[in-house]
Amino acid sequence: MSDDLLKAVREHGGIKPAARAIGMPESTLRGRLKGAKPATGSDVKLTIRERKTVNDLSIENGSIIIGSDAHYSPGRITTAHKAFCNVIAEYRSELRAVILNGDLLDGGQISRHGRIGWQKAFSVKDELEAVQERTGEIESVAMGLKKLRTKGNHDERFDTRLASQAPEYEGVPGFSLADHLPGWHDSYRIDINDDTKIIHAVANGMHAAYNNVVKGAGYHVVTGHTHRLQVVQFRGFGKLRYGIETGMLADADQDEFHYLTGKNANWQSGFAFLTWRDGEMLYPEFCAVRDDGKAYFRGQRVA
């Protein structure tokens, strides 16, 4: 029964439309999905460090899915987000963890950057509700999987603005973005096994992936931030390592990116799918949204 419900969520692009289509209350559908059998095996271990600077994940055999730079926009569900949820549901037996690699929200109203013309920015409240709704959709198809997120520079706007403007409220529930996303383990970086570092940003610019892996001291380095989706390999003294950029779950034409002012951006909507066998990472896989708005993974259309 749970497989049928997961299929309905995939086909309709989320819990709310799926519940409407099958004539089931949304709360009932969520409850039944939560009872689905976990997919996580015994070959995965998560260690949460007290300071939350770095979390550790150990994977002997299995996969993770990584999306970043969602900049979740009120009233918009992107193709990449739908594909992300659908791939989780379809390949849940392979997956061990779901990772969101920074910039869940945009924070335009609390940015240090000035307004461009009469550009309108979404309210923090509306953005936060969009983040909660979209991450809720991910959670609904990721039962039994570890759920982690890194903090991006846009995410930091939420806590930083409050810390600078109302420091007296430190520690009050709700004044940190993490308080509103209790289902996710947050940190600045996620270390996997002895060879992989996942962090929102290190180097910047068009050669970010290459610079990350070359300077990565022998690690695979997985980043978001640039909105590019690619892998660059570097073989140093016989050891092969990858610089991986995880694209964006956002659409390039979102209002949040008004700052481009018509300029071209070499961005790509999509996400990464990484697999380990006997503790070693295989060549990275990606799901990319094509120019026609369709998304494919492993040759199959997923959104």
Task: Give me the percent of the chain exceeding a pLDDT of 70.
Answer: 90
For residues 54 and 18, membership in a common domain is answered with: no
Same domain, 4 and 142: no
Please name the residue ranges forming H helices in the chain.
Answer: 2-12, 15-22, 26-34, 79-90, 124-141, 156-165, 208-214
| 27, 150: one domain | no
> Do 135 and 225 sit in the same domain of this protein?
yes
Its pTM stands at 0.86
Same domain, 148 and 282: yes
Same domain, 156 and 24: no
Hey, is 245 helix, strand or coil? strand
What pLDDT shows up at residue 10? 60
Same domain (yes/no): 29, 51: no
Asked if residue 20 and residue 79 are part of one domain, the reply reads no
Same domain, 62 and 92: yes
Same domain, 146 and 280: yes
Q: Domain with 243 in it: what CATH number?
A: 3.60.21
Alpha-carbon distance values, 182 to 89, 159, 167 (Å): 21, 15, 22
Domain that includes residue 12, residue range: 1-37
Same domain, 21 and 127: no
The per-residue DSSP string of 28-85 comes to HHHHHHHTSPP---TTEEEEE-TT-SEEEEEESSEEEEEE------TT---HHHHHHH
| 216 and 264 together in one domain | yes
Which tens digit of pLDDT belongs to each residue from 45-75? 777 776 679 999 999 999 999 999 999 999 9
Domain count, the chain: 2
